[in-house]
Amino acid sequence: MKKFSSILLGLIFMLVSISVEGQEETLFDRGSSVGGFMGIITEIGSIDGETRSSIGGGIGLVIDNMFLGAYGIGSADYERWIQGDNSYIDIAHGGLWLGYNYKTYKLYHLYSSVKLGWGAVGIDTDRDIFRNGDVDGIFVVTPEVGVELNIARWFRLAGTLGYRIVDGVESDGFTNSDFSGVNMGITLRFGWFGRKRGDY
C-alpha cells in the first residue's frame, strides 16, 4: 500500500510538473511582462498649408511588446494671436492609442503606434473677434513608425514619421486634405515597462 501511495504521489507530481511546464509555453500564460506609462506627445505637420506643432499626452498599459492606452492632442494657432490676428484654425482630438515595439530591451528598437481619435476643428477666418467660428466634428487616424531609445529604465524617447488622416471637415473653403498629411513626432514615455533586470 505504501509502495502504491508513493507511486501515485510520484505520478501526481509528474503531471503537475508537466502541466506547469505546458502553461509556461502557452501564448498568454508564459510570464507576460506588464507595466504602465504616461507620455508627452509632440507632432509637427501641415495644417492648411502651414507647418504647425501639436502638443498632448497620454497613458498606457504595457503587455510585453505591446501597449494599449488613451491620448489627447491639440494645436492652437498661437502665431496669429501673437500677431494680433483674431482669425484662427485649430484642431484637437483624443481617443485610443495602440502600439507595438520590437525587442524593447535593446537600446535602440522599433517603435510603432496608431492613434484613433475623435475631436473637432475650429475655423474662423474673419478678423472680427465677435464672430462665431465654424466647428466641425472629426475622426482622426494617425499611424506612425520610428525608433525608440531607452534613456533609462523608466524613460524612453521615440522619434517617428506618421500620417494624419482626418475625416469630417465641412466648413466652407476647407476639406479633409487641409488637415491631413505627413507629420513628424517626438514621444516621451515615463513609467515601468515590465522588463526584468536581466533583460537589459
Fold of 33-199: Porin (2.40.160)
Q: What would the mean pLDDT of 132-155 be, rounded to a whole number?
A: 90
Q: What is the DSSP letter of 199?
A: G
Q: Taking the complete model, does pTM exceed 0.85, yes or no?
A: no
32-52 pLDDT tens trace: 678 999 999 999 998 888 888
11-26 pLDDT tens trace: 444 444 433 344 333 3
Query: Which residue is listed with cell 494657432?
Result: 77
Angle, vertex CA 38, rays to CA 32 and CA 43, nearest 5: 115
**Residue-wise DSSP of 150-198:** EEETTEEEEEEEEEEEEE---STT--GGGT-EEEEEEEEEEEE----GG
State the cell numbers at 98: 495602440
**Which pLDDT score, from 0 to 100, does residue 131 have?**
45
Q: What would the mean pLDDT of 100-126 be, rounded to a whole number?
A: 89
